[in-house]
Amino acid sequence: MGRVRVAAGATRRALPFLLRGLVSSAVALVLLIRVLLVAAFTLIGVGWPAIPSTVRAVRRWAGDERRRVAAWTGRPVPAPYPPPIPDDPAIPTRALLAEPATRRDLAWLLVHGLTGLVAGFLAILLPLSVVNAAVVPVYWWAVPSDEPVQSPYPVTSWLGALGMLPLGLGWLVLTLVLVPLLARWQAGAAARLLAPTKDARLSERVTELTATRAAALEAHGAELRRIERDLHDGTQNRLVGVIMHLGIAERALRRDPASALPLLLKAQDQAADALSELRDVVRSIYPPVLAERGLDGALAALAARCAVPCTLRVDGLRRLPAALEAAAYFVVAEALTNTAKHSGADHAGVTVTLRPPAEPGDEEALVIEVRDDGHGGADESGGSGLAGIRRRVAAFDGHTDVTSPPGGPTVVRAVIPCAS
């Protein structure tokens, strides 16, 4: 009895699956006809431009099928298309056709278009036959005797009607055995044809790893360039300034010693600047607080230290690559310094969020927003603060928006993609 109950459960689950399969195979047939038409037109030379849209239509339908099968089996069926995203119109037709996934999609279209209909009809007919066999003994006498019930033999007597009962049992056994089997077979075939082959999965993984490795190297290179630039534009220029002003002072001493003093003071200022910029560069390479407390801890420390009352909200943060954390820390530190120095604000707010990818193929992004209620009108050319933020963010392929209308508020928003 237990086995019957299991079979009944499996059949109940398999039936709707096969019925939806009936619909999907009807669409697959239509698509198959479209593919054949396009192929024929391509042979006579005019079908080529229709290929990408056809392949994409097949892919969309294959995608629906993947979801249908995955929902039924509880196991996801990954799409085998290599990045870039299959809907990208820039993929040339030839490359599209050369993809093994395209050929496998077509194979599925053929298999499913032909067998899905049969399986679907069986899923309808077998249970109906059981029901019919069960109810024939009830109504056969009501049917006019010159057109008797014909399923599968003419029922013209009570004996014949009773014969329907073992037949119905037979139909029932067939239903319980065949329907789950058909569903399993259909799901299995779809999963095999629509999922990437093992080779494809491996090579996709290799591509992925190659890309992340390249991105890591690139981020490292960007960081080196950033440090070089900070040293060059900051410290080195300040030292040149010291030398220059000492040179001018030297000339002034010969001509008019009294005029040399301001120049010497200027040289001294620039030497002090050089030192403090050098200190900043050293700190910017990797703030020790990041290693100790992580980005959220380090940001909390920054917010607490800020001269303007500052609220901090972090969302979805986890440990990120050190260079990225350092960049985020730098952006917030620099923006808060600007706020404290220039904005006249009573309050500042810092929001740092790890934004999940908007769509597949996108990257996660670290979104950093620093806003204050000051008087606005931030001047990008004035200090090096905003320019420094832009540079630092750009090194990670990110971008920075600064809005600071006169009267405020000032919002610095940086979005840094995180290649994970």
> Which of 341, 320, 339 is closest to 329 using CA atoms?
320
Within residues 361-400, the interface with another protein by CB under 8 A covers none
Cα–Cα distance measured from residue 380 to residue 158, given in angstroms and rounded to the nearest whole number = 98
> Which of 163, 216, 182, 249 is closest to 22 using CA atoms?
182
Distances (CA, A) of 131 to 2, 249, 293: 22, 109, 70
**Segment interacting with another protein (CB under 8 A) among 153-161, 226-234, 324-332, 336-344:** 226-234
Chain-centre distance of CA 329, in angstroms?
25
* Sequence-separated (6 or more) residues with CB below 8 Å from residue 349: 310, 311, 312, 313, 369, 370, 371, 372
Minimum CB distance to another protein, residue 324 (Å): 22
230 by Cβ neighbours in 10 Å (0-12 / 13-18 / 19+) ranks as buried
129 binds another protein (CB under 8 A): no
Minimum CB distance to another protein, residue 237 (Å): 5
Q: Cβ closer to another protein: 73 or 236?
A: 236
Q: Cβ closer to another protein: 42 or 236?
A: 236
Q: Cβ closer to another protein: 87 or 250?
A: 250
Q: Cβ closer to another protein: 241 or 344?
A: 241
Minimum CB distance to another protein, residue 216 (Å): 24
> 154 - beta bridge partners?
150
> Which of 399, 402, 398, 401 is closest to 379 using CA atoms?
402
Phi, psi of 414 (to 5 degrees): -120, 135
Cα–Cα distance measured from residue 73 to residue 383, given in angstroms and rounded to the nearest whole number = 61
232 binds another protein (CB under 8 A): yes
DSSP conformation class of 140: G
Q: Which of 200, 252, 290, 389 binds another protein (CB under 8 A)?
A: 252
**Segment interacting with another protein (CB under 8 A) among 3-11, 183-191, 231-239, 334-342:** 231-239
Query: Which residue type is seen at 20?
Result: R
> How many residues bind another protein, per CB under 8 A?
19
224 binds another protein (CB under 8 A): no
Cα–Cα distance measured from residue 275 to residue 239, given in angstroms and rounded to the nearest whole number = 9
246 binds another protein (CB under 8 A): yes
Q: Which of 99, 218, 233, 397 binds another protein (CB under 8 A)?
A: 233
The pair of structure tokens assigned to 123 is: 């899923």
Minimum CB distance to another protein, residue 251 (Å): 5
Q: Cβ closer to another protein: 237 or 351?
A: 237
Q: Cβ closer to another protein: 79 or 248?
A: 248
Cβ atoms of 296 and 317 closer than 8 Å: yes
350 binds another protein (CB under 8 A): no
Q: Which of 247, 297, 316, 357 binds another protein (CB under 8 A)?
A: 247
Q: Cβ closer to another protein: 116 or 234?
A: 234
Q: Rounded to 5, what percent of the chain is helix, strand, coil? A: 70, 10, 20
**Segment interacting with another protein (CB under 8 A) among 19-27, 249-257, 277-285, 366-374:** 249-257
241 binds another protein (CB under 8 A): yes
Distances (CA, A) of 179 to 75, 125, 210, 264, 387: 20, 11, 45, 95, 68
Site mask, another protein, residues 258-287, x = CB under 8 A?
------------x-----------------
240 binds another protein (CB under 8 A): yes
**Segment interacting with another protein (CB under 8 A) among 82-90, 179-187, 198-206, 233-241:** 233-241
Cβ atoms of 352 and 365 closer than 8 Å: no
Q: Which of 8, 244, 300, 317 binds another protein (CB under 8 A)?
A: 244
Which residues are at the interface with another protein (CB under 8 A)? 229, 232-233, 236-241, 243-248, 250-252, 270
